[in-house]
């Protein structure tokens, strides 16, 4: 085995690299984080490989907000590592700089290539999936902002001592919104509070119009060839709409890379923490909350609908609550995990029939 190995610490403007041949002492290199800089880095590794008699070229860097530009440029010879899966000692955490980070990545990659250690690499979605995620994530972010504005309206009314009239039963109905708009020009609010309320109502109106726009975009995307059949199968389940299905599909991508329900539960962060040592066995804690939070949020919303309208799900929920009435969240989390696994089965069958993703001969185990 003969390798030129590069560990990369990626930043907005620079690539700090530690490069070594097999177990030799590494050297430090630096490149600008631009298209030209990344290509110069790859050419540098290839030149070292030629000088080493045709060695293989392998590089790795941590997943971050920098995206997958370096991976796209380097291709299969580059790995993206999961920061949450990379062990770090206390001394390393307290003594951190770019060069040390690059050296740590180099050591992890070198141990994988030369000693067969597990590599905490992530699955890198294709460019189409990445682009589709932007629309779905934007839709969720806008909804979160709208919820925050509604909360601000409620706090403003509380601070001003204004209560909802008894004739209005529910908030955010047409009648309630008309009452809010009437407050702006009334004597119930002082001038500055009325100005603030008017601004919040304008923000809310804009955000809700954006939600409608993005709902249309998500719906149109769901009709594309790669999503149409999986979405159709998933939305047959009670509580699962187009948005829930599209969040699930864009965040998890190729469902064939998962080998079973345990991997699905672990990936979406619904697996319990394990605290077992020595003779103390079967010590499970709270769920890990790792993986895509957006998926858990959508699963939670869907589960409450299922508990309300699906008799079988309601019966299972009631049985679990009866066993542990003080911790109803446990029953909800269990229902979320069941739904995540169910959607995986339905989505995988549909993706396979539609040939959406080509099955890799040796698909790597999914990492968070």
**18-33 pLDDT tens trace:** 999 999 999 999 999 9
pLDDT at 368 over 80: no
Residue 199 shares a structural domain with residue 313: no
DSSP classification of residue 75: G
DSSP classification of residue 163: -
Residue 70 shares a structural domain with residue 132: no
- Among 60, 86, 115, identify where a domain stops: 115
Phi then psi dihedrals of residue 359, to 5 deg: -70, 125
pLDDT at 281 over 90: no
Asked if residue 120 is part of any domain, the answer here is no
CATH number at residue 60: 3.30.420.40
pLDDT at 277: 63
For the residues 161-182, what does the mean pLDDT come to?
94
Residue 96 shares a structural domain with residue 164: no
Phi then psi dihedrals of residue 285, to 5 deg: -115, -155
Cβ 153 vs Cβ 180: under 8 Å: yes
pLDDT at 360: 39
pLDDT at 218: 98
Residues 164 and 157: their CA atoms lie apart, in Å, by 9
Residue 273 shares a structural domain with residue 168: no
Residue 255 shares a structural domain with residue 339: yes
pLDDT at 278: 62
User: Structural domain of residue 325, as residue ranges?
Assistant: 226-354
pLDDT at 284: 66
Residues 41 and 31: their CA atoms lie apart, in Å, by 7
Asked if residue 308 is part of any domain, the answer here is yes
Residue 215 shares a structural domain with residue 175: yes
The domain total for the chain is 3
Residue 37 shares a structural domain with residue 144: no
**35-92 pLDDT tens trace:** 999 999 999 999 999 999 999 999 999 999 989 999 999 876 899 999 988 887 777 7
Asked if residue 363 is part of any domain, the answer here is no
| Residue 321, helix vs strand vs coil | helix
Residue 230 shares a structural domain with residue 331: yes
pLDDT at 107: 95
Asked if residue 143 is part of any domain, the answer here is yes
Residue 204 shares a structural domain with residue 245: no
Nearby residues of 245 by Cβ (< 8 Å), 6 or more positions away: 222, 227, 230, 231, 234, 235, 343, 347
pLDDT at 290: 86
Asked if residue 180 is part of any domain, the answer here is yes
Residue 107 shares a structural domain with residue 132: no
pLDDT at 353: 92
pLDDT at 365: 46
235-to-72, 243, 302, 329 alpha-carbon distances in Å: 34, 9, 11, 25
More confident residue, 275 or 335: 335
- Among 222, 245, 278, identify where a domain stops: 222
Asked if residue 17 is part of any domain, the answer here is yes
**149-159 pLDDT tens trace:** 999 999 999 99
- Among 222, 253, 272, identify where a domain stops: 222
Q: pLDDT class for 124, splitting at 50, 70, 90? A: very high
Average predicted confidence (pLDDT) for the chain:
91
Residue 56 shares a structural domain with residue 92: yes
Share of the chain above pLDDT 70, in %: 94
Cβ 197 vs Cβ 191: under 8 Å: no
pLDDT at 217 over 60: yes
Cα 88–chain centre separation: 23
Residues 331 and 327: their CA atoms lie apart, in Å, by 8
Residue 279 shares a structural domain with residue 231: yes
Residues 304 and 142: their CA atoms lie apart, in Å, by 22
Asked if residue 33 is part of any domain, the answer here is yes
pLDDT at 276: 66
Cβ 79 vs Cβ 119: under 8 Å: yes
Residues 332 and 321: their CA atoms lie apart, in Å, by 9
Query: Cα angle vertex 292, ends 359, 237, to 5°?
Result: 70
pLDDT at 207: 98
pLDDT at 358: 59
Share of the chain above pLDDT 90, in %: 81
More confident residue, 305 or 92: 305
């Amino acid at each position: 085995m003969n390798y030129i190995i590069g560990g990369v610490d990626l930043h907005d403007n620079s690539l700090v690299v530690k490069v070594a041949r097999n177990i030799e002492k590494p050297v430090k290199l630096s490149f600008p984080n631009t298209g030209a800089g990344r290509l110069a880095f790859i050419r540098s590794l290839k030149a070292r490989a030629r000088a080493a008699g045709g060695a293989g070229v392998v590089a790795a860097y941590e997943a971050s907000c920098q995206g997958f530009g370096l991976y796209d440029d380097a291709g299969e010879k580059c790995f993206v590592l999961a920061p949450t899966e990379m062990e770090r000692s206390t001394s390393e955490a307290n003594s951190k700089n770019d060069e040390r980070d690059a050296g740590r990545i180099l050591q992890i990659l070198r141990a994988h290539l030369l000693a067969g250690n597990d590599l905490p690499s992530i699955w890198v979605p294709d460019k189409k999936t990445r682009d589709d995620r932007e629309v779905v994530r934007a839709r969720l972010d806008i909804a979160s902002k709208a919820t925050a504005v509604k909360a601000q309206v409620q706090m403003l009314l509380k601070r001003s001592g204004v209560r909802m009239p008894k004739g209005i039963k529910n908030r955010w109905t047409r009648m309630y919104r008309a009452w809010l708009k009437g407050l702006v020009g009334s004597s119930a609010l002082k001038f500055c509070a009325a100005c603030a309320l008017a601004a919040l109502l304008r923000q809310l109106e804009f955000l809700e119009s954006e939600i409608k726009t993005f709902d249309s975009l998500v719906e149109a995307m769901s009709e594309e060839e790669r999503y149409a059949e999986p979405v159709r199968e998933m939305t047959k389940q009670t509580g699962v709409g187009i948005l829930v299905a599209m969040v699930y599909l864009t965040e998890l991508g190729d469902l064939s890379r998962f080998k079973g329900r345990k991997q699905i539960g672990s990936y979406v962060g619904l697996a319990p923490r394990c605290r077992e040592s020595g003779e103390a066995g079967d010590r499970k804690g709270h769920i890990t909350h790792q993986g895509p939070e957006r998926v858990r949020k959508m699963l939670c919303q869907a589960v409450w609908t299922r508990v309300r309208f699906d008799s079988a799900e309601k019966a299972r929920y009631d049985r679990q609550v009866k066993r542990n009435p003080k911790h109803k969240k446990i029953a909800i989390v269990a229902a979320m995990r069941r739904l995540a696994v169910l959607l995986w089965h339905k989505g995988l069958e549909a993706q396979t029939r539609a040939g959406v993703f080509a099955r890799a001969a040796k698909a790597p185990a999914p990492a968070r």
